[in-house]
Each structure stands twice: as C-alpha cells, then as structure tokens.
Structure 1
Amino acid sequence: MSEMNSVRLQRAAKETFGWDELHAHQLEAMEHVLEGHDVLAVLPTGAGKSAIYQVPALLLDGPALVVSPLLALQNDQVEALTQAGAPPAVVVNSTQSAAERTQAWDAVEAGEARYVFLAPEQLAHEEVVERLRSAGVALFVIDEAHCVSSWGHDFRPDYLRMRPVLERLGHPPVVALTATAAPPVRDDIVARLGLRDVKETVTSFDRPNLRLAVVRCTDADERREAVVSRATELVTAPGFEGGGLVYTASRAESERLATELGERGVSAMAYHAGLRADRREEVHRAFRDGDVDVVVATSAFGMGIDKPDIRFVLHAAVPESLDSYYQQIGRAGRDGEPAATELFHRGEDLHLQTFLTAVRAPEQVLRDVSRALRDAAGPVRLTELARSLDASRASCTRAVNLLEQVGAVSAAGRGRIVHRRDVSTQQAVDDAVALSEAHQELIRSRVAMMGGYADTTGCRRQFLLGYFGEHLAEPCGNCDTCEAGTAEARPRRSGRFTVQAPVTHQEWGPGVVMAVEDDRLTVLFEEVGYRTLSVEAVEDNDLLTLVS
C-alpha cells in the first residue's frame, strides 16, 4: 500500500507542480496522510511544508481546509497554487466583499475548489462550519500549528476552536505544520487538537550555514551604534547581494534605526504593526524584490517571508524566548549560503523582558465574567458580555480565553459563549488563575533560557539545539564561542542522565532532560518550565530520579 501511494504521490507532484522528486521527509508525511493518519510535521521554513498537504489533496475525495493565521500568507499560497496550475483554491475571510465570499462558497459547494483557506476566527461562525461539513472536507490542515500551544511563543486562543470543529467535520485526516516546535510544544499540539494515531515528521533544527554570535553592550546608545555600524559594514562589504533584517523591540526604535541606516547610505525601511496596510505591503514587496537592502522591524515582520538570500539577521533587542529567536534567525540563509545571525545583548534586557511578559491573572474580571455567564439565560456574545459588565472587550476576551482553556466555558456558535452548569464560579476562577500562574512561570523560564544562550561560553549551536531536544555531539565551529576557543570539546560526565530521559525532581515534579553538559543539565519540567541544574548539586543531593 505504501509503495503504491508513493508512486501516486510522486506522479501527482510531477504532473501538477512539476516537481521531479519529493524529499524523503515530505514523502513520508504524505504517505501517512493517504493512510488516514493525523500528521504533525516540524520542518524549517523553506523545506517544503506546504507540499505535504498540497499533493495528497489532489488524491483525496473532497476539499482540503487550510487554516492559516495571516491573510497575506493565505493569498500568497493561493497565488502559488494558481501559478502552478493546481486545481482551484479559494480564500474566505473578513476582508472580502459579500460577492467575493459568495463566489468562493459557490466554488466549494460545487466541488470545484480543491483548497479552502481561512483564518481560525472564521471557525467561530456556525454557518461557516456547517458549510464546511456539507462540503465533505477530506483534509484538515493547520498552518503555524504552534499557535495552538500555550507552551509556544505565539499562542493564539482562536486556535482552541480547532478541536471541536475538527470533530464536527468528522475528524478527517489532519496535517499540523510548524517550523518551530520544541518537544513540549509538539506534545501540546497533539493534545489540544485531539490528534489520533498521529505520526510525527521532525527534521533537524540545525542550520549549519548560519553563524551564531552574541555581542555584549553596556547601554542602549552603545547597542544602537553597534547595530547600525554592523549592518552598514555587512551591506557595504564587497560582493554583498541579498538583504538583511534588523529586529527591534519597539515601533519607535525601528523607525529610528532605519533613519540612521539611511543617513549612512544604506537603503533601509522600517516595518511594524502601526503602519498602514498598504505601507506594510510596500515594505514587503520592496524587500522581496531587492529594492531595499535592510528592513528594520518588530516581530510583526515574520510569517510569510520567503526571501532565500537574506544574508544577516541582527537583533537590537533580546526576544522573549529561544523559540522566537530561532524562528527569526531562521529567515536567513535559506539558499544554503553563509549568513550571519547576531544578538546585541544587555544583561538588563532579560529583566525588562520578564517584566513585559509578566501579566497577572485578571481575577476580578474572571469572577465577573463567570458569574455573568452562569446567570445568563443562554449563550452570550462577547460584545454583549463586555457591555453588561462595563468592561473592555480585551479584558473580557482574556478572561473568556482562560476560562475556555480550563473547560469552564465553551463556544456555542455564532460568536456566543456558554458556561458549564456543573462548574462553579469559584472553581472556574481558581482553575483559571492556576493556569495563568503556571503559564507565567513557563514564560519566566523561557526568558531565563534566552539569557543562558546569551551568556554561555560553550558552543552556542549546542545550546540552541539542546533547547529543542536535539543533541549535537561536537562544537559546531561556526559560532563566536567556537572561534574564541571557549567551546572546545570537553569530556562529558559519565552520568546517568541523557537527552530526552524522563526524570522527576523532589520539588518540581516530572520533567525531561533537554541538554547535558559537563557541569550542568537543562530539564524541562511540566509545571515550572525550563531549569538549568548543576550536575554536582543533582548528584550530591539526589535531586533527580530517572523514570523507567
């Protein structure tokens, strides 16, 4: 059966898309889809994730539903399918006119559309789900699947709607796609989506063509000068071709650095969420077409960038996690050629990042929302709820999201929410506060791991890969610590602990060993997140127990 599917997939890829050969990881995942398995595919951007659903969809009886978080990504994918001569693809989103939406649904219901792209918030509409059910969705695709996980760096509550909708559609085979997913994120994706008989396709996180480096700075002015000087140096170097990215923490800083680069003769544009949509599109287009050398951006500039010749990514501010950092530097060197990735770091950045990401649970709002929903005669719309409580929509949304995650409330269709009668307000609030505090602990642990990467004198690539549960036996030779000689191979302790070994801590409970160094262990605990432990302290005090 598998060999027959392999032949069918290779033929479809060749005839429709002109691909002479599929990569082994692509073909493996596609075969799992045709065999009816749910699939979680973790592949670097540029490794052909989209093909994993595009090709099997040609061989299934019914449309492929593709849930994608960004409208620009949806439009790009539809355009690529159209140019390839693939069967029709349509988009359904809030920016369309009524006539455009009607035309899209007509194509779906007539069986003409092979691919249907929509944003996760569309799944809150009962009529959308019903139309999809009637269309007989044959494949349920979730792009940027890490957004479903509260362990992830880009959690989006809208993604929580995926599981009940999936069941409403009869749970067709699922393809969950992401470029960045550490082991706990992968586990969370599987659990939250309710994936069945799941097969994982996970490629190496190693990008050996990227040179990793950290530059220490004493204050903001020194860092700003260092970043501008380094970007100028790279762009004006003989033979420079391609582009560069500089990531900043604020809109104002992106504008300032772009201006300073321009004053030094570097073609640069700022990008952030505060720009008009047409201006953001202009920056995207200019960078893609090579009309601008450097884009200075906040994290808003990210998903959907498919420029293979980005030669450097500089960070003028520390990201909130290694997940975010890896995703952002991963935009460099997709053509396989050398690229520089450099973090310009101040020690106090980590304190600021902890402060910025620390958000207390809105206990009073949780209590008010829970009571109002329990007292309501039936399901309530979020706008009506906020109005009745004289509270902001944002605070109500956050409270509802927390209550939904602990199972106290659920979506009731048509954008309405209902409270479970068997869950008291006190229980709902207690559970939601506990969940929020656990999430804050995780966020703090991720910030600490970001600091560990910045401060390590060992091989940075070993540290980075260890965070994702991948063991690199020898120092990489292509990072600043390797070049400085501080990361030379050191004998490992012949201890009991190995990467991916399940353990239990006396205080922190169960966890998994993520990285092993000669003097320390990095463990990811279910309750408190990442912790770095002294091997000597672990052994002398018997802190960890291996779970057989």
Structure 2
Amino acid sequence: MTPRQSAPDDDNPAGATASVRTRRIREFARDVLGFEEFRPGQEAAMQAVVSGRDTLAVLPSGAGKTAVYQVAGQLLDGPVVIVSPLIALQRDQVERLAEIEDRAGRAAQLNSTLSAGDQREVLESLQDGTVRFVFLAPEQLTKPEVVDAISEAKPALFVVDEAHCVSAWGHDFRPDYLRLGGVIEQLGHPTVLALTATAAPPVRAEIVERLEMRDPEVVVAGFDRPEIRLEVDHYADAHGKEQGVLDRVLAEIGEGRGPGIVYSATRRGTEEIATQLADRGLRARYYHAGLNKGDREDTQRAWMEDELDVVVATTAFGMGIDKPDTRFVIHAEPADSLDSYYQEIGRAGRDGRPALALLVYRQEDLGVRRFFAAGIPPEEELKQVAGLVQAAAAAGIEDGVDVKALREETGRAATPLARDLNLLEQVAAVVLDDDGTAHPAPEGPPPAEAAEAARELAEQHERMDQSRVEMMRGYAETRDCRRQFLLGYFGEQLDEPCGNCDNCESGTAYEDAGPAEDTPFAVGTPVEHSEWGAGAVMRLEDDRLVVLFDEVGYKTLGLAAVTENDLLRARTP
C-alpha cells in the first residue's frame, strides 16, 4: 500500500504540501540526527519518499544513505522494512537506531540467528507497532509466513539497501534479490526506496525494472570524492608488483597514514600479503570467505576497534565495512570493474580527510578478471534444465522440481545450476518458488527456444562484463586525469583535471586537456551505431568519446573516425 492520501496536514506527510514536508524533514534531521545540513542528494530522496513516490537514490559511500529512510520512515504512516544483505550490516544499523529509539522508534533484526520464537516476536511487534524498523536479508522473504506477517503490518516503506545486488550487471549480484519485485507487489506495493553507492546507467535501469518501481524518482548525487587521491603504480613483473604492494603499505603506515585495506583478487594472495606485512612488524590480518565465521567476525571486530594497521582481503570484506578513518585502500590487482573499484575505494576517507586509493597494476593481472568475467553455459545444458522442469510438470508433479533433484539428474554443481535457472527465469521460461523450486512459466517457450534465449542473455552479460574489464584497463593505463576518467564512467563530466591524482601531479593530465571541439555528442546523448545498436555517450574528451551500448557494453571511439565515417547518429530516447 502507498501512504494514506488525505487532506494536507502535519500528521500525513504524503498528503502534506511540499513546504510542510520540507519543514518536518529538516526538523527531524536536525533535532534527532543532529544534521546541520544535508549532503548532496539526501534531502531530494527524502522529499520523494515522504511524498509517496518510489525512489532510487544513488549516493556515494559515506554520503549518509541510511539517513534517508531513518528520516522518511519516521514521517510516514506505517512500519519500515529494510532488506539488507548482511547480518553484520543489519546489526550495525539496528544499533545506530537504538541510540535515537525514543524519537525514531524501535528497530529489530529478523534473521537466521534468531530462534523461531524470537522471530515470531519480531513480526508480532512489527504488527502492533512496537517495532517501527525491521531489518532482514532477502532470504527471509522467501518464506510465505514472513511475507504474510509483514503484509498484515501494512508497511509504509520498503527499503532495498545495496540495491545493485538486484542487477545482473551489478558487481555484487545476489539471485535472492531478483524476487523482491514480486514480494513488493504481495505487500501491496508500499513506497519503495532503493539505495546504492554505485550504479552505472545499466544497473540503475535494471534496479528499477527488477523491483517493479512505479514512475520512480531517480536521485543521483555527484560521484566525486575529491578527498581521495587516485594513483596507479605500474609494474612489468609479478615479483616487482608484489614488492610494490608491501612497500606502499609500509610507507603509508610509516608516515602515520593508517589504518588501511589491501584488496587481493584471490584468497591465497590475501594470506601471502598479510603474512609478509606481519613479518615486517605490522598488525595485519587476512580476510576471505574461506575462513570460519568466528575468525571473520573477530578480524572485523579488531579492525573496527583499532587493533589492526591493515586488513588484507578479498571483496568478501566489503558491504557494511564503515570505518570513517580508513586512510588508504590499495588494490594488489585490478577490480572486476570500475563499479566495484569505486565502491571499494569509497571505504577510504569517509571522515572527509585526505585518503589514498592506489592500484598496483600489472597488465597481465587483467587476465584473471577476464577469466572471471567469462562463463556462458552451453545451450544443450540450458535445454536440459528447461526440459527437466517441463517434464516434471507434464508428469503431474505439481510441487515443481527442487534444486537437489535437478543436481542429481544433471550431475551438475549447485552454483552453475543456480545460474542456469536464473537465466531461464529471466527469459520467462521457468518460475522459481520462494524455496528455489522450479516450475515451467505459464505460456513459456519450449526448452529449445528457452535455451537459445537464455544463452543469448548470458552472452550479452559476458559482453558487458568484458567491456567493464576493458574500462578498468583504460583507467589503469590512461595518461589523462584519473578522476575525469572514473567519473565519466558513471556519466558525470568533470570539466577540468582534478589536481589530486598522479597524472595531474606529473602533468600528463594537462596535455591536450580541455573540452572537446564542437560535436553533436554531448555527455548523455542517446546514439545509435550500425553494428552495436543503441547506446548513450558517457564521456567526452578532446579526441574520443566513450559510449555505453545496451547490448555490448562500453566502447571507446575516436571522435575523428566517428564524424568522418558517420559511425554514430543521435536518436530519440
């Protein structure tokens, strides 16, 4: 349900005039959260949500995304449901809300660590108004009894935190997020707020589509984090690069510019780097998904309590890591995309003080990312899975086919099988129940057609992923201003070199710097290419432009070749 619509008054912000909403938003933010002023995008998102409009807010790391639902949720008529992917992240937000519970209302978690009785108590408290904010993982919403109980509570606001997880283009894709759109409809479509710190245009579009958002307000604050210095150190061989990582960490800590995070692409890499740093006297630990839960939690606790100089981690040390005084983030290998890179370096300098984002780069390391980006299932494999689902239905098995049965029948591992089912679901060939059981979609295509469509979709995903790896290479190897390059990836044009990256310091960023000559292709212009189809201009330089194509991803084109050969034409969006 949407918030009540009645005569404008102070008790009904959704029906109130804009001036009344603004006054109440600012009063609550000031009196309860202590805000002297809003950060870019915050108030616009709050205004949209409080007026009852679905909202996608893309706000930089450290820009106070949680304040949007804390304020807006307080001013709406009903409880707030927040989908958050990590229990640790949920716990952190509940603890923060507990500090203002007397004004904002009680918050609670609903997750697998609670007993059945405690889970029932949370849901009952949500229904009777004792709990105003409930945090849960998307897996909880696969349980019909949970959805039914939340529906009875009549939530006013449904928040999807880390919303890029809903997108197959996103760098933290989570299949359970795919079903949130259906859950939102089951709840009567309360106002939806999707939050993320980084979302390139195709990710934004898929978030809106997957969550079935209605005429959403899209608030995109500036992506620039000018306090973060951007650098890339280049190495020709593996040994030199490994030593380079150690030297830079030791230098940063030695100069008192710690603590910091080092990201490595592999578990083995985290262990080796952390061990060598510890041997050199630093308080260093490694962190990856292969460690047991207790060790991971203890490392995270030690990090937050200033007991460590550096954590060396895979991206498993990611969402929910909010330590404002982190002074550096060093990547021992390139990230899989600039989306991921921006998210990861955004953990530095959240206190607004100077910080460093360094990529230690060897060109050969991109091969690892290209390998991870590759992976198209064979068409016969997809056809087999679709055929088994349809055969079960034809045999009168009304409960559908569960993943365990499919694994036994196909002899395939759980992860690739889940990928196949997700692809088939996206092409409307199968329907996955809350528990993952598969049914054929009503009026869905036959297995052969479904397999062909699913493979084409997988190929499209791979083209996009590979193009993003190439943009990561472009960032590492550019002689232009790195901040201009990074912001351009997200469609934000920075007119002048930033002055706070290594290329600006060396002077190469100022060679031929300046706006492009007259061109019909300004940033944001929808364009059409004869081979690559529809796209939009993302970045414009003096002699080239970057276009994000719907089907093939990012392409860098020489401006002279484009104009001389009429390669692009402007189109009506």
Using structure 1 for the length normalisation, give the TM-score.
Answer: 0.96
Question: How far apart are residue 106 of structure 1 and its match?
Answer: 2.4
Question: How far apart are residue 20 of structure 1 and its match?
Answer: 4.8
Please state whether the residue corresponding to 1:500 is helix, strand or coil: coil
Please state whether the residue corresponding to 1:270 is helix, strand or coil: strand
Match of 1:434 in 2: 456
Please state whether the residue corresponding to 1:187 is helix, strand or coil: helix
Q: How far does the alpha carbon of each residue in 1:55-95 deviate from its partner, in whole angstroms, 9 at most, with x for none?
A: 22222222111111111111111111112223121211223
Letter of the 2:133 partner, please give it: Y
| Pairing 1:132–2:154 present | no
Match of 2:218 in 1: 200
Q: Distance in 2 between matches of 1:13 and 1:254?
A: 41
Q: How far does the alpha carbon of each residue in 1:488-542 deviate from its partner, in whole angstroms, 9 at most, with x for none?
A: 1245222221111111001001100001111111000000000001112112211
Match of 1:120 in 2: 138
Match of 1:209 in 2: 227
| Pairing 1:166–2:184 present | yes
Q: Distance in 1 between matches of 2:519 and 2:296?
A: 52
Q: How far does the alpha carbon of each residue in 1:108-135 deviate from its partner, in whole angstroms, 9 at most, with x for none?
A: 2322111111111222222221111112
- Contact preservation (8 Å) 1:365, 1:395: no
Q: Distance in 2 between matches of 1:492 and 1:325?
A: 27
Match of 1:8 in 2: 24
Match of 2:239 in 1: 221
Please state whether the residue corresponding to 1:361 is helix, strand or coil: coil
| Pairing 1:361–2:377 present | yes
Match of 2:432 in 1: 411
Q: Distance in 1 between matches of 2:285 and 2:401?
A: 44
Change (3 A) 1:24 1:525: closer
Aligned residues: 546
| Pairing 1:104–2:122 present | yes
Match of 1:299 in 2: 315
User: Percent identity between the aligned chains?
Assistant: 50
Match of 1:425 in 2: 447
Query: In angstroms, what is the RMSD of aligned CA positions?
Result: 1.6
Residue of structure 2 aligned with 1:62, choices 55, 58, 78: 78
Q: Distance in 2 between matches of 1:476 and 1:161?
A: 41
Q: How far does the alpha carbon of each residue in 1:296-355 deviate from its partner, in whole angstroms, 9 at most, with x for none?
A: 111111111111111111111111101111111111111111111111111112223112
Residue of structure 2 aligned with 1:266, choices 282, 304, 326: 282
Match of 2:476 in 1: 454
Q: Distance in 1 between matches of 2:57 and 2:550?
A: 23
- Contact preservation (8 Å) 1:227, 1:344: yes
Unpaired segments ≥5 residues, structure 1: none
Letter of the 1:96 partner, please give it: L
- Contact preservation (8 Å) 2:527, 2:537: yes
Question: How far apart are residue 227 of structure 1 and its match?
Answer: 0.7
Q: How far does the alpha carbon of each residue in 1:328-386 deviate from its partner, in whole angstroms, 9 at most, with x for none?
A: 11111111111111111111122231122201224333222211211222223323333
Match of 2:544 in 1: 520
Residue of structure 2 aligned with 1:245, choices 261, 277, 301: 261
Q: How far does the alpha carbon of each residue in 1:396-445 deviate from its partner, in whole angstroms, 9 at most, with x for none?
A: 21111111111111133454321124221111111100000000000110
| Pairing 1:342–2:358 present | yes
Match of 2:11 in 1: none
Q: Distance in 2 between matches of 1:352 and 1:68?
A: 30
| Higher mean C-alpha displacement, 221-230 vs 381-390 | 381-390
Match of 1:476 in 2: 498
Letter of the 2:362 partner, please give it: R
Q: Distance in 1 between matches of 2:79 and 2:401?
A: 33
Please state whether the residue corresponding to 1:50 is helix, strand or coil: helix
Match of 2:164 in 1: 146
Q: Distance in 2 between matches of 1:491 and 1:400?
A: 47
Q: Distance in 1 between matches of 2:416 and 2:205?
A: 29
Q: Distance in 1 between matches of 2:64 and 2:549?
A: 32
Please state whether the residue corresponding to 2:475 is helix, strand or coil: helix
Q: Distance in 1 between matches of 2:37 and 2:369?
A: 45
Q: Distance in 2 between matches of 1:487 and 1:262?
A: 37
Match of 2:486 in 1: 464
Q: Distance in 2 between matches of 1:111 and 1:386?
A: 44
Q: Distance in 2 between matches of 1:546 and 1:12?
A: 46
Match of 1:187 in 2: 205
Within-5 A mapping of 1:254-333: 254-333=270-349
Please state whether the residue corresponding to 1:55 is helix, strand or coil: helix
Match of 1:542 in 2: 566
Q: Distance in 1 between matches of 2:414 and 2:567?
A: 46
Q: Distance in 1 between matches of 2:297 and 2:338?
A: 28
Change (3 A) 1:414 1:271: closer
Letter of the 2:406 partner, please give it: L
Match of 1:394 in 2: 415
Q: Distance in 1 between matches of 2:257 and 2:467?
A: 39
| Higher mean C-alpha displacement, 428-437 vs 402-411 | 402-411
| Higher mean C-alpha displacement, 523-532 vs 80-89 | 80-89
Q: Distance in 1 between matches of 2:56 and 2:282?
A: 42
- Contact preservation (8 Å) 2:495, 2:515: no
Q: Distance in 2 between matches of 1:412 and 1:268?
A: 44
Letter of the 2:62 partner, please give it: G
Q: Distance in 2 between matches of 1:481 and 1:58?
A: 46
Q: Distance in 1 between matches of 2:250 and 2:552?
A: 42
Please state whether the residue corresponding to 2:289 is helix, strand or coil: coil
Question: How far apart are residue 294 of structure 1 and its match?
Answer: 0.7
Letter of the 2:562 partner, please give it: V
Unpaired segments ≥5 residues, structure 2: 1-16
Please state whether the residue corresponding to 1:332 is helix, strand or coil: coil
Change (3 A) 1:20 1:490: closer
Using structure 2 for the length normalisation, give the TM-score.
Answer: 0.92
